[in-house]
A = this chain, B = another copy of it.
Amino acid sequence: MTVNSSRFLADLHALRDFGRDGQGVRRRAFSDPDLAARAWLADRMAEAGLTPHFDPVGNLFGLVPGQSLLLGSHSDTQPEGGWLDGALGVIAALEVARASLEADGRAISVVSFQDEEGRFGALTGSSVWSGKLNLAAADALVATDGTQFSDARARLAARASDFVDPARFVGFLEMHIEQGPVLDQAGDTIGVVTGIVGLRQFQITVKGEQNHAGTTPMAMRRDAFVAVTRIATLLEDRLANIATPKTVWTIGHLRLEPNASSIVPGRAVFMLQWRDADAERLQRIEEAIQGVLAEVQGGTGCAITFERLRQDLAPMPMDDMMQAELAKAAKRVAPGQWRSMPSGALHDASNVAALMPVGMLFVPSINGISHAFEEDTAEDDLVIGLKVLAEAASRLAPL
């Protein structure tokens, strides 16, 4: 098969026009631009000889008959999204399936999952399709604007059929922008994803004693913020012995009470999140964190408690054979300019991995920027990504 890069780029730019805002895109799941984009995409699929199929939650498939390899990603965006993100993987899938049909080649189907960006939950469309979330639970989800998922998906009811049987697919490949700085800074063009990292998160509450910042001597204080800084500092020290260069941890959210410049903080509530591709390491980090919290509680006299605010996400390794084929293709198309790497962000592939063998490949994000209007990737890199995907797909798809 021979992919047509101009046609691929033209379609990618055509999709960008749905919800376009400057360089970026506003195309939330089930918004008018999203529905228009899905209708347009269904037409492109039909033109290519694929059978468009909307399932009950808005996932749009472009199917070939019989067993096939599934390629795709998602075409919804963040409220202020970049133009590539999931769109890239959807249009690349379309081009590869189309080129394969033109070449009378392998059986390749296409998907654009719905609400990957979590207007309602997180990866809503692929979560329902993969059985992780049941439809009744999904229907009860409510967006921050008050819209309920059941009402949102009703907007596509006229076009919707049943869920597609996952058994018709031999595997799934997703191409995506990296959404991080690693490839860009290293000057590499392709990342073959080894796995999607797992994530754990604690909400930690530090209860100290609220005092007047003028009249309370330092030695008599139980300052909740001082305890937070001790926790953060000790963590850096303790996690250094456990972390690999790919382990990350973040305190991204913090609230002080009463948060006034002349009052010693009586309470601090913050989120501590850590991610790693290795489940055992996630656990060791958790134990180190608990040790630090106990130590700081003892040292400061503050009462420190934690709770798990969101469900742990287990690391999801990519299929070995899929990785091997992607690596082989990368070696041929982009020799010396590719690497294996974990995905620090979540993707639909993580859900689909419950159903079939899954592989992912990344192209660089300029300056590591994503989920922002400025998100971009060099055109040459987009085309190299397309070619790697096509080459791997042509070896993995059934005849």
Contacts and interface: CB of A to CB of B under 8 A. Distances in A.
Contacts of A138: none
A299 interface: no
B216 A181 contact: yes
A23 interface: no
A264 B245 contact: no
A371 interface: yes
Interface stretch (A61-69, A92-100, A221-229): A221-229
B250 A217 contact: no
A250 B216 CA distance: 10
Contact of A346 (B197, B214, B223): B214
A250 B213 contact: yes
A32 B182 CA distance: 65
A228 B254 CA distance: 12
A141 B368 CA distance: 48
B264 A252 contact: yes
A245 B221 CA distance: 12
Given A180-B215, A197-B214, A216-B344, A251 B233 contact: no
Contacts of A249: 218
Given A252-B261, A253-B256, A256-B253, A344 B212 contact: yes
A271 B261 contact: yes
A314 interface: no
The 6 A-B pairs with the shortest beta carbon distances in the complex, nearest first, are A180-B215, A214-B344, A261-B271, A215-B344, A213-B250, A229-B232
A215 B264 contact: no
Tell me what chain A mostly uses at the interface: helix, strand, loop, or mixed.
Answer: mixed
A232 B226 contact: yes
A371 B263 CA distance: 11
Contacts of A215: 178-182, 343-345, 368, 370
A297 B252 CA distance: 20
A201 interface: yes
A5 to B, nearest CB: 26
Contacts of A181: 211, 215-217, 220
A260 interface: yes
A254 B251 contact: no
A262 interface: yes
A199 interface: yes
Contact of A229 (B185, B217, B229): B229
Which of A213, A230, A256 counts the most B-chain CB atoms under 10 A from its CB? A213
11 contacts: A180-B214, A182-B215, A212-B370, A213-B252, A216-B344, A217-B246, A225-B252, A250-B262, A251-B265, A252-B261, A254-B259
A217 B275 CA distance: 11
Contact of A368 (B220, B223, B263): B220
A248 interface: yes
A353 interface: no
A282 to B, nearest CB: 13
Given A179-B212, A215-B344, A254 B252 contact: no
Contacts of A182: 215, 217, 220
A249 to B, nearest CB: 8
A247 interface: yes
Interface string A259-285: 111111100000101010000000000
Which of A178, A245, A253 counts the most B-chain CB atoms under 10 A from its CB? A253
A285 to B, nearest CB: 13
Contacts of A229: 228-229, 232-233
